[in-house]
């Protein structure tokens, strides 16, 4: 192992082996090299069996092990434990769980089996406020309790929250049912491991003696139960090395506790702190912008990224007219920079706060025949709520579209159940007529009751009323808005979701459908429902690459992803879009937490993904449910000094003549390919 390849702080982190150590690893500062070198250094001094390195995903654990093996050889690494927290927990439970009253051959229930258990327990129950019980929400509350180390008998409910009151009843029954089946769930893995350590001192002492050197990657992402497990395992020798960056703590919404890394010095008195501040990824101007932004967070470990490289290009900010203009501006820069610097498509990344923002960029990239991949979400027009909304429009345009007619027949629920639908389909087959015709004569079909028949007639009346409205010129977006409102699609999305945040994301996607209709109507001199749907079909003609995140990133395609999904990645050119109040920072996060710190960290993560070029974009106006509304520039932009930002005018400039010629050639080539 050549320590000369490391800078001085990296070398210090590798050589410090005894006692608690916090390595504050700034973005792009080479933390993975430090972790693997430190493991290699330890392997020269102590048996491999005494070392454990913990991370959050199996992929990260595999990559870490591969790098250690490459460095020290397979033989020397034999016996080394590199795993996720949960894999280590399962390993311990397989040896020790009998002391908690389980058999060693216990099963780990997947979510489907957990839901089945809860569903059986709440079957037929009604909430005090009315309506059926959502088993997903009960299971979510049980999971949240376990991650705070709250067991079934200790769970206390807020008497004003009907779901918490019900959970207080279901949680003990759920846990007894699991144990009766000799099963545990995913959250039990760490909870039961901790209970073993707390109740059986000899078990804890055995594992403390075995794992004398503990390392943790991405410590800022640990939750309460993971923190507690680490404290117990390191309580005798205190040889705990954690690596992370509080400035990149962006998973509070799923239980991560930034306080774990912020309070490390208090929790482990005498701990040494080493800062890795030299950045090997980004230019000086990008790092200066990132430093200027993140310093506005109060609760953080002070550090300042720097580079031995040059200042590089200015950070660019562009205020566009609206969301569609923003998408066109991004595509324009992709064309220009590809030509200037011979970049590949995969060198560009478009980062946004929420997945609902992808729609305009997906459309524009497809218009321009630019390949792209979407990371961490479905293609916009593949999302269920989008398909459901478009199904109504497709049946309005073509009532003989039976696939989509069946999709919307009982969505939202209107009393036309599966049995009724089967009888309607059978009547269509026997009578050799369309399902739409059968609906008009459903009163004569045997087995369809009065209530279902009335629901069918109301459905037909609604559809025919809006079909007439869609034929009126200039009413496309207004009619769509009123249709969705009358159907109460937003309310239905909230009813379906076990998590209000998921529901909001789906509602945002529904709004984007309306925005797509509105943008289309504005662009076209004669806008019809049929031509809008034709445009959507043409956009779907070439499916973007599918596969795992790693497979997608290998494609020569522009990358679209949320800021949360971008952590750990880097690109030569980054577009950070939606730089407006309400988007970044997101208004819902501010409303719920009264804290903008995590939103600022998200913006910081986005900025530090860029290697050479960073373009920030926002819109002066943006559509909300089809109507343009004024937008206020993100406060984060004002926190970056004006001297670091070049304000690019919104008017798009013509490309150089030679680039225009190349683009024209590409355009005609694409047209010829389409005509083949």
Residues 214 and 89 occupy one common structural domain: yes
Identify the domain boundary among 539, 574, 605: 539
Concerning whether 31 is annotated as a catalytic residue, the answer is yes
User: Is residue 348 in some structural domain?
Assistant: yes
Does 495 lie in the same domain as 347?
no
Annotated binding site for ATP: 25-32
Tokens, residue 234: 């390191």
Record the tokens describing residue 64, joined without a space.
């870490």
What span, in angstroms and rounded, lies between the C-alpha atoms of 175 and 173?
Answer: 5
Catalytic residue among 134, 187, 217, 337: 217
Average pLDDT over residues 660-675: 44
Candidate list 55, 167, 220, 248, residue with the active-site label = 248
Pair 139, 68 in one domain: no
Confidence category of residue 129, pLDDT binned at 50, 70, 90: confident
Residues 428 and 357 occupy one common structural domain? no
| Of 334-343, 429-438, 454-463, 634-643, minimum mean pLDDT range | 429-438
672 a catalytic residue: no
Percentage of the chain beyond pLDDT 90 is: 56
**Is residue 80, in this structure, part of any structural domain at all?**
yes
Domain presence at residue 342: yes
d(CA 561, CA 253): 18
Q: Is 502 a catalytic residue?
A: no
pLDDT tens readout for residues 75-101: 888 999 999 999 999 999 999 999 999
Question: Residue 565 corresponds to which tokens in the numbers above?
Answer: 């999904």
The question of whether 402 is a catalytic residue gets the answer no
Q: Which of these is catalytic: 11, 12, 17, 32? A: 32
- Considering the domain architecture, whether residues 531 and 557 belong to the same structural domain is answered as no
225-258 pLDDT per residue, tens? 999 999 999 999 999 999 999 999 998 877 889 9
Are 150 and 215 members of one domain? no
The residue from 126, 150, 181 where one domain ends is 181
Summarize the confidence of residues 397-408 as an average pLDDT: 86
What would the pLDDT profile of 137-194 be if each residue is shown by its tens digit? 899 999 999 999 999 999 999 999 999 999 999 999 999 999 988 999 999 999 999 9
Q: What is the mean pLDDT of the chain?
A: 88
- The single residue of 600, 609, 622, 623 carrying the catalytic annotation is 609
pTM of the entire predicted model: 0.77
- pLDDT score recorded for residue 671: 38
Q: Where are the alpha helices (DSSP H) in 342-401?
A: 358-367, 384-397
Question: In this structure, are 273 and 152 located in the same domain?
Answer: no
Same domain, 465 and 438: yes
Residue 102, domain member (yes or no): no
* Binding residue numbers: 25-32
Average of per-residue pLDDT across 427-445: 83
Percentage of residues in the chain having pLDDT higher than 70? 93
What is the reported pLDDT for 314?
A: 93
Domain with 358 in it: 315-371+544-647
By mean pLDDT, which of 111-120, 315-324, 426-435, 658-667 is the weakest?
658-667
Q: For residue 339, give the DSSP letter.
A: H
Model confidence at 653: pLDDT above 50? no
Specify whether 73 is located in the same domain as 218. Answer: yes
Note the pLDDT of residue 539: 59
My answer on whether 321 and 265 are in the same domain is no
Which of 230, 198, 236 lies closest to 215 in space, CA to CA?
Answer: 230
Final residue in a domain of this structure, among 513, 539, 565:
539
Specify the residue for token string 């599918």.
546
Q: At CA 105, angle to CA 99 and CA 109, rounded to 5?
A: 100
Asked, for residue 565, whether it belongs to a domain, the answer is yes
Domain count, the chain: 4
Average pLDDT in the 614-639 region? Answer: 90
The verdict on 437 and 490 lying in the same domain is: yes
User: For residue 100, what pLDDT is reported?
Assistant: 94
**Residues 500-517, buried b or exposed e (16+ Cβ, 10 A)?**
eeebbbbbbbbbbbbbbb
Q: Which helix (H) or strand (E) holds 55?
A: strand 51-55
What CATH number is given to the structural domain containing 38?
3.40.50.300
Model confidence band, residue 660 (pLDDT cutoffs 50, 70, 90) = very low
Query: For 441-488, what is each residue's pLDDT tens digit?
Result: 887 788 788 888 888 999 999 999 999 999 888 889 999 999 999 999
Given a cut of 50, whether residue 541 has pLDDT beyond it is no
Q: Are residues 507 and 558 in the same domain?
A: no
Find the catalytic residue in 96, 136, 218, 221: 218
């Amino acid at each position: 192992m050549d320590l000369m390849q490391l800078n001085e702080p990296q070398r210090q982190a590798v050589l410090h082996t005894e006692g608690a150590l916090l390595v504050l690893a700034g973005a792009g500062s080479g933390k993975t090299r430090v972790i693997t070198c430190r493991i290699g250094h330890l392997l020269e001094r102590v048996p491999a069996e005494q070392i454990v390195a913990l991370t959050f995903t199996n992929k990260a654990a595999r990559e870490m092990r591969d790098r250690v093996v490459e460095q020290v050889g397979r033989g020397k690494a034999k016996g080394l434990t590199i795993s996720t927290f949960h894999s280590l927990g399962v390993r311990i439970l397989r040896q020790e769980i009998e002391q908690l009253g389980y058999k060693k051959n216990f099963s780990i229930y997947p979510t489907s089996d957990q839901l089945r258990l809860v569903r059986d327990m709440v079957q037929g129950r009604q909430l005090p406020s009315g309506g059926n019980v959502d088993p997903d929400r009960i299971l979510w509350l049980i999971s949240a309790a376990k991650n705070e180390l709250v067991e079934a008998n200790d769970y206390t409910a807020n008497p004003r929250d009907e779901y918490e009151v019900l959970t207080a009843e279901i949680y003990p029954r759920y846990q007894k049912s699991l144990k009766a089946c000799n099963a545990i769930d995913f959250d039990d893995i760490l909870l039961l491991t901790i209970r073993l350590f707390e109740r059986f001192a000899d078990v804890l002492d055995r594992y403390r003696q075995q794992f004398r050197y503990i390392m943790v990657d991405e410590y800022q992402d640990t939750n309460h139960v993971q923190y507690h497990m680490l404290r117990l395992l390191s309580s005798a020798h205190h040889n705990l090395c954690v690596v992370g960056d509080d400035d990149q703590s962006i998973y509070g919404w799923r239980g991560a506790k930034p306080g774990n890394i912020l309070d490390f010095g208090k929790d482990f008195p005498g701990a040494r702190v080493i800062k890795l501040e030299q950045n090997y990824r980004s230019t000086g101007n990008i790092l200066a912008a990132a430093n200027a932004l993140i310093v506005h967070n109060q609760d953080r470990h002070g550090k300042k990224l720097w580079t031995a490289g040059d200042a590089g290009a200015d950070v660019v900010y562009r205020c566009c007219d609206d969301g569609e203009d923003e998408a066109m501006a991004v595509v324009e820069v992709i064309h220009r920079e590809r030509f200037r610097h011979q970049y590949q498509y995969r060198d560009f990344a478009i980062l946004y706060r929420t997945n609902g923002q992808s729609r305009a960029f997906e459309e524009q990239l497809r218009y321009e025949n630019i390949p792209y991949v979407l990371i961490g979400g479905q293609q916009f027009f593949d999302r269920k709520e989008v398909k459901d909304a478009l199904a109504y429009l497709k049946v309005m345009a073509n009532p003989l579209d039976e696939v989509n007619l069946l999709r919307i027949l009982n969505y939202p629920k209107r009393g036309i159940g599966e049995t009724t639908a089967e009888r309607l389909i059978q009547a269509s087959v026997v009578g050799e007529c369309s399902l739409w015709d059968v609906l008009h004569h459903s009163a004569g079909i045997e087995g369809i009751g009065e209530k279902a028949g009335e629901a069918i007639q109301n459905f037909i009346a609604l559809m025919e009323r809006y079909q007439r409205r869609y034929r009126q010129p200039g009413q496309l977006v207004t009619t769509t808005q009123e249709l969705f409102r009358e159907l109460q699609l937003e309310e239905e999305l909230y009813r379906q979701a076990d998590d209000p945040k998921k529901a909001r994301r789906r509602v945002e996607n529904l709004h984007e459908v309306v925005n797509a209709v509105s943008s289309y109507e504005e662009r076209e001199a004669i806008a019809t429902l049929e031509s809008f749907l034709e445009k959507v079909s043409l956009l779907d003609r070439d499916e973007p690459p599918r596969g795992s995140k790693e497979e997608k990133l290998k494609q020569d395609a522009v990358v679209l992803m949320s800021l949360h999904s971008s952590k750990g990645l880097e690109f030569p050119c980054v577009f950070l879009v939606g730089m407006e109040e309400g988007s970044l920072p997101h208004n819902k996060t501010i409303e719920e937490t009264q804290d903008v710190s995590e939103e600022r960290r998200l913006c910081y993560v986005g900025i530090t993904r860029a290697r050479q070029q960073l373009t920030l974009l926002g819109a002066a106006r943006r559509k909300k449910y089809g109507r343009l509304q004024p937008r206020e520039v993100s406060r984060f932009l004002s926190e970056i000094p004006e001297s670091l930002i070049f304000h690019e005018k919104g008017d798009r400039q013509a490309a150089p003549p030679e680039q225009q010629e190349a683009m024209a050639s590409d355009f005609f080539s694409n047209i010829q390919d389409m005509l083949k």
